[in-house]
């Protein structure tokens, strides 16, 4: 095949290469390599401090996260230790109070302590503790405090969320004493009649302001009043004399109440 264009002889010689020449690697001048690599090296050198700074910042952030986790764990352990120590102190004080009451109750009028009576009284107390705490988890301290209050003739305030066996402990204490039990849930709309009994209609006919107290708080030996802080001032003020002096004003009469523990 022929063409109308004819390359100069020098160009034909420069373009035509033998297979041996094509197999040889092409060597570029060192000046060309330096010119091509120099911008890349300069870019690498300029970005290296930025990468180092970012890596240092990431390491500092990771260190802060680890330190925060360690501090939180230490604080949790300290809180748990403080709670356990407080529970241990309360339990020790309750045990000491129990032992003191047992010693005082076992003494006779001549000041002599009967070892047999002391052991029998201890057995009754520990049997009562076992009966009150049966089937309840983590309520040993509350059981001891409730029994201690009943033995001393005092009252007990129990604070806690619903479902923590507050009313159940009161019912079990009533079962131990075999006495009359009274229980009531108060609200801000509760009236004194819910605790102390309704007014006697027959008494009003005879110009007497008396209540029918049978089956209500004035006749109970063990009572459980739930949500007492929601009660109004009329109920709270009427409870003062009943709790402190064990007396109740029913009309013109002031009567003794058998209340052991509320």
Q: Which of 151, 153, 143, 173 is nearest to 102 (CA)?
A: 151
How far apart are alpha carbons 216 and 194 in whole angstroms? Answer: 8
The mean per-residue pLDDT over the stretch 40-67 comes to 68
186 in Cβ contact with 209 (< 8 Å): no
pLDDT digits (tens, 9 = 90+) for 12-33: 444 556 666 666 665 655 555 5
Report the pLDDT value the prediction gives residue 35, as an integer from 0 to 100.
Answer: 63
pLDDT digits (tens, 9 = 90+) for 202-249: 888 888 888 999 999 999 999 999 998 899 988 998 898 898 999 998
Note the pTM of the prediction, 2 decimals.
0.53
Q: Which of 214, 208, 213, 199 is nearest to 252 (CA)?
A: 208
**Range with lowest mean pLDDT among 7-16, 31-40, 180-189, 197-206:** 7-16
What is the number of other CB atoms lying within 10 angstroms of the CB of residue 228? 16
As given in the structure block, the two tokens for residue 160 are 């806690």
Position 2 confidence tier, pLDDT thresholds 50, 70, 90 = very low
Q: Which residues contact 53 (CB under 8 A, 6 or more apart)?
A: none
């Amino acid at each position: 095949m022929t063409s109308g264009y004819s390359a100069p002889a020098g160009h034909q010689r420069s373009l035509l290469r033998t297979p041996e020449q094509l197999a040889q690697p092409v060597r570029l001048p060192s000046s060309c390599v330096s010119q091509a690599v120099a911008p890349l090296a300069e870019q690498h050198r300029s970005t290296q401090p930025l990468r180092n700074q970012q890596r240092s910042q990431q390491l500092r952030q990771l260190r802060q996260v680890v330190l925060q986790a360690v501090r939180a764990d230490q604080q949790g352990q300290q809180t748990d230790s403080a709670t356990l120590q407080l529970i241990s102190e309360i339990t020790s004080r309750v045990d000491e109070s129990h032992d003191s009451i047992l010693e005082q109750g076992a003494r006779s009028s001549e000041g002599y302590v009967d070892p047999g009576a002391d052991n029998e009284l201890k057995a009754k107390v520990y049997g009562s503790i076992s009966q009150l705490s049966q089937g309840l988890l983590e309520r040993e301290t509350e059981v001891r405090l409730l029994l201690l209050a009943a033995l001393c003739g005092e009252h007990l305030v129990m604070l806690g969320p619903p479902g923590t066996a507050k009313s159940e402990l009161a019912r079990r204490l009533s079962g131990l004493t075999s006495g009359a039990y009274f229980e009531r849930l108060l609200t801000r709309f509760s009236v004194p009649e819910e605790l102390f009994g309704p007014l006697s209609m027959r008494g009003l006919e005879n110009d007497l302001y008396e209540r029918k107290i049978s089956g209500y708080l004035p006749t109970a030996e063990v009572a459980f009043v739930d949500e007492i802080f929601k009660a109004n001032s009329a109920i709270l003020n009427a409870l003062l004399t009943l709790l402190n002096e064990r007396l109740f004003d029913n009309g013109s009469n002031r009567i003794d109440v058998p209340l052991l523990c509320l």
